[in-house]
Structure 1
């Protein structure tokens, strides 16, 4: 698994946590699916992101 920006902090053995959540970057406006406790924008590498309501 590729991990840009730090160690992997996802429990792949937990099926509910491994699905990812939708986030929006507050710096560049990109939307993306993120995993882990501290998702980072894949477009600008900012960690200033907000979880979007599903």
Structure 2
């Protein structure tokens, strides 16, 4: 039982991190995506900008 306690804590931390990512994703989608991404060209530009940040 004692060995499972760290795993439970780690699982809760992972769940909290995923919740934060979900909230941030929703905050980005609602005002930014729906007003800025109107055509495939806009999507390509956003994808290129995100790629330049990540890589």
TM-score range normalised by the length of the shorter chain:
under 0.3
Larger RCO of the pair (alpha carbons < 8 Å, separation 6+)? 1
Structure with the bigger percentage of helix: 2
Report the TM-score, using the length of structure 2 for normalisation.
0.25
Report the TM-score, using the length of structure 1 for normalisation.
0.25
Q: Which has the larger radius of gyration?
A: 2
